[in-house]
Chain A
Amino acid sequence: MKSLKRSLGDSSANISSKVFIRSLKSGRVQKVVREQYLRKDIPCSSQLCSTCAANAAPDASGNVPKPILSRRPAGTKQFPNGHYIIPDTNVLLTGIDLLEHSDAFYDVIILQTVLEELRNRSLPLYNRLMSLVKSEEKRFYLFFNEFRAETNVLRQEGETVNDRNDRAVRKSAEWYASHLDATTKKQGPAIVVITNDADNRRKSKAEKITALSMRDYVSSLENAEKLLDMVAEGQDRAERGELIYPEYYSMSKMQTGLKAGIMHQGVFHVSPYNYLEGTVKVPTFDKPLLILGRESSNRSVSGDVVVVEVLPKDQWKQPSSRILDEEAMNQNENADDDDNAEAIVTEGERRALQEAVKTAHRAGADRAQPTARVVGVMKRSWRPYVGTVDASSGGGNRQQTVFLVPMDKKIPKIRMRTRQVDELIGKRVVATIDTWDRDSRYPAGHFLRSLGDLETKDAETEALLLEYDVQYRPFPKAVLDCLPAEGHNWKVPADKSEPGWQGRKDLRDLLVCSIDPPGCQDIDDALHARQLPNGNFEVGVHIADVSHFVRPNNSMDAEATARGTTVYLVDKRIDMLPMLLGTDLCSLKPNVERFAFSTIWELTPDADIVSADFTKSVIYSREGFSYEAAQKRIDDKSAQDPLTAGMRHLLALSKLLRAKRMAAGALNLSSPEVRIESSETANETADPLADVKTKAHLETNSLVEEFMLLANITVATKIQSVFPQTALLRRHATPPASNFADLADQLKRMRGFELDVASSKMLADSLDQCIDPAHPFFNTLIRILATRCMTSAEYFCSGSHAEPEFRHYGLASEIYTHFTSPIRRYADLLVHRQLAYAIGYDSIAGETVDEGLRNMNKLENICRNLNFRHRNAQHAGRASIEYYVGQALKQRQEKMGDEGVVEEGYVMRVFENGVAIFVPKFGIEGVVRLEDFELSSKKSAKGKNTKEADAEELVIKESEFEPENYTLTVFEKGRKDEMSRRIELFQEVKVRVSSEEKGGAREKGKRRVRMVVLP
């Protein structure tokens, strides 16, 4: 028998093998052998080179790729002949922002070796780099050096992988230089390797390759001043200070620990009230573990995936009841004094500890909570952060180190070096974190860009959008190209034989109308109802047929997938779909024919469903009501036309539907909602705060809501039956009873109410019981707090959960999805496609339905993104309102010249040194510290500026905190008997709300909403 070993004749000289060992998650080790076919036809892709272009290989369609690298690359002082750049992996890891910069870094060669390493180290950075490679203007060329015979490098005996990769980079640089010189027959452009590794630079020098560090390279550019700020920190620093933080465990130690169950993995969240207190929710325990103090949180930033270890029982603590704000703290006070002298704990004891955690969690809220410390970080979720520069003074052009104080209070200050301090103070600045070393109290990062002056509308809006990762750039041309060519003149074709009419029902004779908030431009839904001869009702919900315009898998679809949802800010709307579709072609405006997707039920007079039918249709909306207008029309006894009659039927049926839902245990939840009506008539004298309105709830609101819910539920059932594995549904998980423990205890102690959380029905009933006759808002307050105890609803793919888990807890529905707002939510659009397939609708041109509808993996990814976008959109909207209220307060103060508005507030939480107060009028929640308690009424008569008044009096206030009674007594030092104020949970208090500028040079121009509790 012949040997199986491949004979190494000349024919196989072009094959080499790549052998590598990888360890799997399960701990097994695999040896992977891959073939590598070495070749000579991989082009250098320089426009200067004619040989490569001549023997470049075409793709399957016969196209030969065009050379990418410029004929006349940019020159610098050092390289007058122009240069091509080859970055190494570390440079990409730390400096991708620089490479993305539009002022520099053109004609870059990305080596396969580097790309592969980058992908292993960071997938997000890899994706960013790939989009650079795909964008044509930056001229990034992907050179597969490992497959080119001349540049392939074999790992030598005793050589580390890193050294081998460095050598591969040098080899490619060398080849490029000699190749370009040879083909151009003169001195070609310089090949510059950028590497921060000093050893690599030294070796390059020996091999006569130009290699520079990032800092040196950027210094030689023309606009070095600006770009130098963006060079990442950390690589060059050699000296080590005192080590503040403990070292992370090694990956294998963590994995062993996780497997053995003595360490736990979870996402690190920082408390919004106290920046030194964090929690990690781990799957093993019902309740999150507490992480107290800097040392325990050990350099993790809110959002990171961390590995924690439970601390010994004597270090367990109550969650802190203090308000701690990093900004308010002085640096010297932060130093963690508590000496965590770590006792040596054996494995057995550690195991016993896990049991103790479970018992403690079961025992309830009275005892000390288990605490843990971070021993390692699995995945960083660092992103660009928006904030303000905190610097005591300008420093001219000299480079100095400043702190960036992020807007998000949960993120620590970021230390960064800059040469433009003077320009950055008073601006909104974006920066990113690079490293967090053991010897540095704060993370080190670098400057990305400045958004503009604080409190200017543009800068603040952009800051908000960046902070919540909202894609706000205008739609690219590729997306706009997908719009119908007719633009605003597009009409439903008159001829019914047109392809657009195929499979559509003509419902133009139905008396359809839409009911929306006033001024709504993107009208998603319209309704109709009529009585049938048999006494039943025919009710139709007609939804804009967005899927007719947005075809699967084109650029517009991809953009909408990425955006996920339309984001509503107070004075801006960031659309998911281009304006033309959202506000015109899809929008079910009155008095025009529009394509729709209709759900039509036959309902008995008792609102029981007899049948449901789905069809694509053409409708003609007779009227576009606002909620108020619709209500008026229904209430108007004189209106007896059929449209009004239909609306009255709808209203009557919706009441029945609502009653049924409530009986099934649907929750009537509340969130602090205010609406800003930017009145155009706002003139100089008007009160700017007049725009801030709490949302009114009319009967017509719930009319629309009920039928939308019904449509969503009906559609969910239908698509689930056709796509058992891949239907896009929405669920709201039943919250564990432990989530309500705190609230239940508070209610019981303060008001004597019992909160029954056994089921949503029980919860709904017990929430109805929580009424304080003196304070009608009390019930709403409790509902707001109860909502916060629940998990948030999420989109999911039906195959990823068992059927009982489909349940929507809040709506008390077995199955639910989103179908009714395809203009502003991508999920609805996908559901439209699934439903269209389910009813056998053939789209135009006989295209088959997107295979993505059945691809569970793809759908799960989409769901993940949608959930993330949805949450961010909500947060951004809320933050926008908060900002607007602050600005309105400021304007009002300037106009009226007083100290702020006095409003009713409710105590939501009591801390040791302050309270959290919710002001329903503005829908804002704020923290009131001891110094903001006014104890006697005489003080408010004093000077206009509260700060001056404070300074004059210099009264030190003290407090007594009774955690078990949720009560705080505030008094002036030493005068407890005469001047004290007792505040308890849920109490109604008068607060003065004002907008206040922070003093001092350090935080110039920064504002916050200040609340002062009045006597």
Chain B
Amino acid sequence: MPLDTTSTYSSTLLRQDGRRWNELRKISASISTQPSSDGSSLVTMGNTSVVCTITGPREGRGQRDNNNAIVETELNIAPFAQLDRRRAGRTDKRVQELQTTISQAFQSQLFTHLYPRSSILISLTILSLDGGLLAACLNAASIALVDAGVPMPSILAAVSSGVIIPTDNSLARPEPILDLNNAEEQELPFLSLATVRGDADEEDKISVLVMDSRVQLTGTDNPAETMLRIGLDGCQSVRRTMEEVIRRQGTKVMQGRR
């Protein structure tokens, strides 16, 4: 078994995969990967890779909202995505919660009022999972929605951030780290964070914040604030990468038209 982060980090300032505290894993994103769908993307963050396809906006079935489009999410973790082959059932509460979180994030983010009585379906498939599940899903959905042509004020960028709380020295400050992999998620407290770009001269706005770990919330240098601070920077850097991908795709589309 490899080492753990907590005991060696203070001596080496290196994480268990060789990254520094503020480094993201390698992100690659491609857009329009499935031409048959309305919009699609493939996002990989390190060893986590997610395929997203968008269906809609199209006429909603069943429950409909007379003023807005309804955003729905279908999350499917492939049986081979994790260490152990395992088929997640429909009833998995964790998956259901993620679906709700993603739907709600985009429900308020997109200009849904332009599509009354319609529905937008986000289908996510996790091909391989190594931490940062929610962040990768949000990012994939975000650029797939751009591909599908759903209007939005800014793209939503997400990242996870964690904190190393030194155990042997209470005076030491908690050390933030960005974009955790699976091993780090097992060991450290972490949160997932997504932001959208704020209006001119304004700071970015947090649209999703999920934390399942228990950390101290008060005091100066508390772990929660430390994580948030680095997470916000991380989101910006993720957004830059994704915008770059979108621009490239845009150029290609424009060139294709000409």
Contact = CB atoms under 8 A, between A and B. Distances in A.
Interface of A: 1-2, 4, 6, 11-12, 15, 18, 22, 28, 30-39, 42, 57, 59-61, 65, 112, 115-116, 119-120, 130, 133-134, 142, 144, 146-147, 552-555, 557-558, 846-848, 851, 854
Contacts of B47: 33-35
Contacts of A854: 214
Contact of A60 (B21, B171, B214): B21
A59 B174 CA distance: 11
A37 B121 CA distance: 36
Output the residue of B1, B84, B127, B183 with the most chain A CB within 10 A.
B1
Interface string B145-175: 0000000000000000000000011110101
Given A60-B22, A120-B1, A554-B170, 13 more contacts: A6-B44, A18-B2, A34-B183, A37-B25, A38-B18, A59-B175, A60-B21, A134-B10, A146-B18, A555-B169, A557-B170, A558-B168, A848-B216
A164 B13 CA distance: 25
Contacts of A144: 12, 14, 18
A848 B17 contact: no
B67 interface: no
Contact of A34 (B2, B10, B12, B127): B2
Contacts of B257: none
Contacts of B215: 851
Interface in B16-42: 16-23, 25-26, 28, 30, 33-34, 42
8 contacts: A33-B130, A35-B25, A60-B230, A115-B8, A119-B1, A134-B168, A142-B8, A142-B12
B26 A28 contact: no
Nearest to A482: B170
A937 B55 CA distance: 108
Given A34-B183, A146-B18, A112 B3 contact: yes
Given A15-B26, A60-B176, A558-B168, A37 B218 contact: no
B92 to A, nearest CB: 21
Contact of A30 (B11, B83, B214, B216): B83
A4 B30 CA distance: 11
Size category of the binding interface on chain B: 35 or more
Contacts of B181: 34-35
Contact of A848 (B10, B14, B218): B218
Contact of B30 (A2, A22, A65, A133): A2
Given A35-B46, A119-B3, A12 B13 contact: no
Nearest to B82: A30
Interface of B: 1-3, 7-8, 10-14, 16-23, 25-26, 28, 30, 33-34, 42, 44, 46-47, 49, 83-84, 127, 130, 168-171, 173, 175-176, 181, 183, 214-219, 226, 230
A61 B173 contact: yes
Contact of B84 (A30, A33, A120, A554): A30
A11 B26 CA distance: 9
Contacts of A130: 7-8
Nearest 9 CB-CB pairings of A with B: A147-B18, A553-B170, A37-B18, A142-B11, A35-B17, A554-B170, A30-B83, A144-B14, A37-B19
A4 B127 contact: yes
A35 B44 CA distance: 13
A5 B46 CA distance: 12
A29 to B, nearest CB: 10
Nearest to B10: A134
A857 to B, nearest CB: 12
A39 B34 contact: no
Interface centre among B34, B169, B181, B214 (most CB of A within 10 A): B169
Contacts of B175: 59-60
Identify which of A37, A851, A854 gathers the most chain B CB atoms within 10 Å of its CB.
Answer: A37
Contacts of B26: 11-12, 15
A28 B84 contact: yes
A769 B56 CA distance: 87
